[in-house]
């Protein structure tokens, strides 16, 4: 069981969070878009820390689970907590795949594929604009001001 509050943001909270997004972040997070490969700010990030949802701040992936998939998008073999990442069957663009979303705010993150490394065999392929990054030892973002686990340092 996660220590984080997975209650969705209220409509007013969501409006405030969305107001702070760039056009590209809105397109990807809210309209299920995909950023171009090999251009995301986190693709080559090697710093130890935690990747969080860009919209609501929920911790999603640790740098220790990141690997170079060669696909052009940041890739991870497992989330911080399975409860933090929702899965949706996606048949868009004539493909059959599994979309991954933030379990708290339902923002689009990317897709998960069954071709990753051990121990999970999964490749969570993410859009950099869907993420924020907190280096180990620094306070995790808490844009919903919930305190508790949200106010703890990354790591």
CATH number of 22-136: 2.170.150.20
CA-CA distance, 150 to 143, in Å (whole number)? 9
pTM: 0.94
Closest CA to 5 of 93, 79, 102: 102
pLDDT at 134: 97
| Domain ranges, ordered by start, for the chain | 22-136
pLDDT tens for 10-32 read 999 999 999 999 999 999 999 99
Among 53, 102, 105, 125, the active-site one is: 125
pLDDT tens for 46-80 read 999 999 999 999 999 999 999 999 999 999 999 99
Does 121 score more than 80 pLDDT? yes
Q: Is 102 a catalytic residue?
A: no
């Amino acid at each position: 069981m996660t220590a984080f509050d997975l209650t969705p943001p209220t409509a007013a909270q969501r409006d405030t969070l969305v107001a702070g997004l760039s056009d590209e972040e809105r397109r990807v997070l809210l309209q299920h878009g995909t950023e171009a490969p090999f251009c995301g700010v986190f693709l080559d990030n090697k710093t130890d820390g935690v990747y969080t949802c860009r919209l609501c701040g929920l911790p999603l992936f640790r740098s220790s689970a990141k690997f170079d998939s060669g696909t052009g998008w940041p890739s991870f073999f497992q989330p911080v907590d399975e409860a933090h990442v929702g899965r949706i069957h996606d048949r868009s663009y004539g493909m059959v795949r599994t979309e991954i979303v933030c379990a708290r705010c339902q923002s689009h993150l990317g897709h998960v594929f069954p071709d990753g490394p051990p121990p999970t065999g999964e490749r969570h392929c993410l859009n950099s604009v869907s993420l924020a990054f907190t280096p180990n030892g620094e306070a995790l973002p808490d844009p919903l001001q919930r305190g508790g686990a949200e106010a703890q340092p990354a790591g």
